[in-house]
Amino acid sequence: MKDPSKKISPPKLADQFLNWFCKKELVEEIEGDLFELYKDQLELRGWFRANLVYWYHVFHFLRPFALRGKRKQANSIIMYRSYLKTGIRNLKRQRLASFINVFGLATTIAISVVVYVLLERQFTLDQFHQEADRIYAIQSDIDWNGRDETWGKTPLLLGQVLLDEVPQIEEMTRVKVTSGIVRFDDKVFNERITFADPEYLSLFSFPLMYGESSALVSKSSVIISERLALKYFDDQEVVGEEVKLIIDGVSHLFQVAGVAHDFPDNASFSFDFLVNLDNLENIYGTKLAQWDDVRNESVFTFIELDGSANLNVLESSLDKHKAVSNEINQDWPIQKFRLEPLTSLARNAQFISEPYASGSTPQILMMFAIISALLLISACFNYINISVSMTQKRLNEIAVRKVVGGQRKQLVAQFMTENFLLCLIATIVGAVIGTYLFLPGVNAIFSGSNYAVNLLQDPYIMVFLFGLFLILGLVSGAYPALYISAFKPVDILKGKRQKAGNNRLSRFFLTIQFFLTFVAIVSGLLFTSINEFQSEKDWGYNQENILVVPVDNQEQADEMLKLAAQSPRILGSAGSQSQIGLSQNQGVVKLLDERMTVRSFTVGAGYLETLGVRLVTGRTFNKAFSTDVQHVIVNENFLKKSGMDPSAIEMTSIELDGENVTIIGVVEDFRFDDFFTPMTPALFRLNDNGYNYISFKTVSGGLTTTEQVVMNDWANLFPDSPYNGFFQEEVFDGFFESTGALNQIMQFVAFVAIVLSAMGLFGLASLMVMKKIKEYSIRKVLGAKGGHIVNLISKQFLILMGMALVLGIPLSYFLFDFMFEQIFPDSLDGLSSVPFLMAIILLGGVIFLTISSHIIQLLRMNPVKNLRLE
Amino acid sequence: MKGTQLGEFEELVLLVVGVLYPDAYGYGIRQEIMKESRRNVTIGAVHSALSRLQDKGFVKSEFAEATHERGGRRKRLFQITASGKRALETNHQLRNSLFDRISDLALKGLNFEGSF
């Protein structure tokens, strides 16, 4: 088994570490013992665990008896105690400076904690599944009208065939998600219905609270989520109850066989109503044993591999199955089946069309990470500036320490100790603020999110905070400690040092800080203005006073339309299959030499009038013309993209999905996607059958009363169906909520940046005033006016601000111009100058207010007092 | 100097040094303690206890020959001294005499099944 010739070599670094701290005379016997230990562990548990155990034991030699030279330097421990004491005294004496430092650092640390938790969530999505590293989702790479696209779904049969054919696949489950009506007693709601193979519950780690997961084998069983159990039964232990699932008007009876535990916060997918996949056959008529259309009858396929599987080989063996599928579906041929690990599925969800898992956009998280890093840097600069300036008061202490024999090394150690003490306080305060103040704030801003961290039990956050503490301590403390300890005691005692020149580095830091603050203010203002701009932006149709009621069948549609005719509050009504902003089809238009993808809205006659879509030329659909089903109405973007001549557009014939249709009108561009997405070509088609939605146009202000009437009628007419009506103006609420959240965060960041730079400025200004206090006093004695002194002091800061602006204005303009172009493609034509002007005024105001306290102090002071003091 | 009392763990180590004689050294002692007492003990803890015992004069030690199984490093072999033996005996007697003075009733009282 074990190769005897193989040399046993314990980790070298651990040996070096031992040699470094351990007494020379003990090293040999200890190393010998550890060597034997290593040998035993190697045989028992393998090299990795053996290395770990080795390190563990090495660390356990960090005991007084083994430590080298402890007795020689017993003095240094006493000295550190003394440093700590002087440090605490200093923090107490310089209350304001300490507060500024601790507060600044703590705030930024709190922000880092939040960003850490957001990032951690993103990177641990779905990792709780026990076999997560061996589970893969099969993706289909598709040629979609000449464009490569990845689809999250595969043909239905693929998973079954693979399971029989590839021995390395341990388990496989196919998943299809639809929606249906679930009814228990008088409780009727639309629910998400998950159809899956019974292995779903063993492949994924969704433990059940009640019931057996094996029950899913039965076609009449359903496993429900805890949320659903409480919603329908007000109880969790509901195994054995019967619920009705209504799909397309047909009822199916299911027996509750299990209730799942509440899903973890980092589950990017879960289920509410989980039934056996075989039910697709009796409910939807899906042919389970046939290769079928990749678009309509496709499912998510997950496989769990054993350790021996080679992914590349497996992927290429999948190739032979694409031919079967491509024969049936020639429009969107599958290029390749690809395996996506479950561990990265949520993170890559944004690149997959119709993914099963969902993750937030990493770009925004990256932006947060960068912002928090910049704020941290800003707080460090503050700290450096202030601590350098505060030593001005402690010059005598430093000089005396040096004169009585303190070495430079010891002074560095002293200042570093003080610095680490301060950073420690800041880290603790920051961690607490972040966890108990900022995280709940984030949860309030992003509705439905549940971010939390346990400071004392989560080892990762502890490591993160400790690392942050070390880095902050070193970065912020090194410069002041080295700078201060280099002073020559004679110079200080003679008083030379006090008159020494300006600190260039402090000015540089402050300039950078002004620059960062400026950028932060601009971004806050820009987000606010864009938010306002969008909420007032024209949607291209009249979205106000429109009530939309989704319907399941013709009967419901007819009843709703009848109701509209009777009610005086309803000005107009129309049915449609698609709904603007909510649902539509994709179509392909064949132009001369290329194909263009268009959004296709199938609507009833009168729909355009009801929603107030504005006609540019031509006419809208008319029920009286039977040929109108062959006609389409396009948007302006369609003309732009296709390059058609707008004046001669009417009665032009185009080929849509292989069918010849004629353009009879052009409408203004209307918003069917949110403002993150650029406008694309779209068209309307006429179909007066199979309505999915009925839209009502009500009198102005009559929306809620109308809805009440409709709701009552609905409950009487259709007790088996839930009422799902909504207002058309709500369709982009999700979008406005997310931009609003972004906006709030940006404003908060701008606020923190302002406070931080004001604090840094305050510290530096007090230093500069202090340095030149005699100069100002003499000026006053000689008759300088107040304005003159104000001028003298503020001038230097205005110069710094000017430099920051020279740097900041062009840079931030290009940055934000680029960024907003990416985020809101259709919203802006260049940035307005207003936010930039406002940011300049705001920054200038803050600078002036901050230094004015020093100026007032200076003006009120009796100059003789300062001059007499020597 | 500190007192020459035996701590609980020190006593355990001292006993094992006696048991393993003449081959009592750090790692061996640790293995024996783990085996007999089912406690998880680090080598560092054993070495620390041995160094204290040596300071108190209860054990003495010398290096053995270098062996291949330790990567060419020498073992330090420990041996109980006369005062170490005395300390063990004192402890042992103290315990025994105290244990003997516990009345039967008190011991029975601990036996729950019998007392109800």
What CATH number should be reported for the domain holding residue B82?
1.10.10.10
Q: Alpha-carbon torsion A577, A578, A582, A586, what sign?
A: positive
Question: Is residue B36 situated within a structural domain?
Answer: yes
Separation between Cα atoms, residue B26 and residue B47, nearest integer Å: 6
**pLDDT above 70: percentage of residues in chain A:** 94
Neighboring chain B residues of A68 at a CB cutoff of 8 Å:
none
Chain-chain contact of A31 with B48 (C-beta, under 8 angstroms): no
CA separation (Å) from A618 to A610, A615, A647, A651?
Answer: 18, 7, 10, 9
Strand-pairing partners, residue A663, are A632
- What pLDDT does residue A71 have? 53
Buried b (16+ CB within 10 A) or exposed e, A673-692: bbbeeebbbbbbbbbbeebb
Q: Give the number of domains in chain B.
A: 1
Asked whether the beta carbons of residue B25 and residue A29 sit closer than 8 angstroms, the reply is yes
Entry pTM: 0.68
Q: What is the pLDDT of residues A100-139, one digit of tens each?
A: 888 889 999 999 999 898 888 888 888 889 888 899 999 8
Question: What confidence score (pLDDT) does residue A110 get?
Answer: 93
The answer, yes or no, to whether residue A499 has pLDDT greater than 60, is no
CB A392 within 8 A of CB A61: no
Q: Which residues of A touch B42 (CB under 8 A)?
A: 56-57, 60
pLDDT attached to residue A381: 84
Lowest mean pLDDT among A549-553, A681-685, A768-772: A768-772
Mean pLDDT confidence for A476-483: 83
- Under DSSP, the state recorded for B57 is T
Q: Does B51 reside within a domain?
A: yes
With H, G, I as helix, E, B as strand and everything else as coil, classify residue A223: strand
CA nearest to A687, candidates A762, A785, A607? A607
Is the pLDDT score of A64 beyond 90? Answer: no
CA dihedral for A290, A291, A293, A297, sign (positive or negative): positive
Give the model's pLDDT for residue B114.
Answer: 45
Q: How far apart are CA A206 and CA A208, in angstroms?
A: 7
Give the CA distances from residue A307 to residues A126, A168, A172, A266, in Å, rounded to whole numbers and listed in that order. 20, 8, 15, 25
In this structure, of A337-351, A416-430, A800-814, A855-869, the range with the lowest mean pLDDT score is A855-869
Check whether A74 has a pLDDT greater than 70. Answer: no
In a domain, B116, yes or no: no
Per-residue pLDDT, A6: 52
**Does residue B116 surpass a pLDDT of 60?**
no
If pLDDT is split at 50, 70 and 90, which confidence band does A288 have?
confident
> Residue A32: which of B42, B51, B73 has the nearest Cβ?
B73
Among the residue ranges A345-349, A485-489, A825-829, B46-50, the one predicted with the least confidence is A825-829
| More confident site: A5 or A779 | A779
- Mark residue A755 as left, alpha or beta (left: phi above 0; alpha: psi -120 to 50; beta: remaining): alpha
pLDDT at A497 over 60: no
Which of A468, A315, A489 minimizes the C-alpha distance to A399?
A489
Q: Residues near A758 by Cβ (< 8 Å), separated by ≥ 6?
A: A846, A847, A849, A850
Residue B30 structure tokens: 């640790």
* CB nearest B45 (choices: A30, A31, A60): A60
pLDDT digits (tens, 9 = 90+) for A671-718: 888 777 778 889 999 988 888 899 999 888 888 888 888 888 888 888
Residue A732 has pLDDT above 80, yes or no: yes
Return the residue of A nearest to B66 by Cα.
A32
Confidence grade of residue A199 (pLDDT, cut at 50, 70, 90): very high
The pLDDT score that the predictor gives to residue A857 is 80
> Domain ranges in chain A?
1-72, 79-125+360-500, 133-353, 504-537+732-870, 546-731
**Mean pLDDT, rounded, for A816-821:** 79
Distance from the Cα of B78 to chain A's closest Cα (Å) equals: 12
CA distance B89 to chain A (A): 27
3-state secondary structure of A141: strand
Q: How far is A106 from chain B (nearest CA, A)?
A: 39
Average pLDDT, chain A: 83
Out of A256-270, A543-557, A801-815, A819-833, least confident range:
A819-833
Are A29 and B30 an interchain contact pair (Cβ–Cβ within 8 Å)? no
Q: Which two tokens stand for residue A547?
A: 């009530």
**Is A637 or A71 the better-scoring residue by pLDDT?**
A637
Q: Does A278 contact B at CB distance below 8 Å?
A: no
* Each residue's pLDDT tens digit, A398-423: 888 888 888 888 888 888 888 899 89
- Report the 10 Å Cβ neighbour count for A43: 12
- Whether B114 and chain A come into contact, CB under 8 Å, resolves to no
Q: Which of B30, B44, B70 sits opposite A32 (nearest CB)?
A: B70
Does A56 contact B at CB distance below 8 Å?
yes
CB contact under 8 A, B43 and A34: yes
The continuous run of DSSP H or E covering B46 comes out as: helix B43-56
Average pLDDT, integer, range A173-198: 89
Reported confidence tier of residue A268, pLDDT bands at 50, 70, 90: confident
Q: Which of A8, A17, A22, A29 to mutate to test the interface with B (most CBs of B within 10 A)?
A: A29
- Give the pLDDT of residue A7: 66
Contact A364, A442 (CB under 8 A): no
Whether A113 contacts A453, CB under 8 Å = yes
The answer to whether A31 contacts chain B (CB < 8 Å) is: yes
Question: What's residue A193's pLDDT?
Answer: 92
Structure tokens at A205: 């780690």
Range of the domain at B27: 8-102
A258 phi and psi angles, rounded to 5 deg = -170, 155
Is position B112 within any domain?
no
Whether residue A598 contacts residue A638, with contact meaning beta carbons closer than 8 Å, is answered with yes
Which residues of B, range 1-20, sit inside 8 Å of A by Cβ? none
Contact A66 B47 (CB under 8 A): yes
Residue A254, SS3 per DSSP:
strand
Return the beta strands (E) in A104-168 as ranges: 135-144, 147-151, 154-155
Q: For residue A272, what pLDDT band results from cuts at 50, 70 and 90?
A: very high
pLDDT beyond 90 at A451? no
Residue A3 has pLDDT above 60, yes or no: no
- Residues contacting residue A171 through CB under 8 Å, at least 6 positions apart: A199, A202, A203, A303, A304
In Å, how far is B85's CA from the nearest CA of chain A?
24
**Nearest in space to A524 (alpha carbons), one of A755, A271, A191:** A755
Q: CB distance from B39 to chain A under 8 Å?
A: no
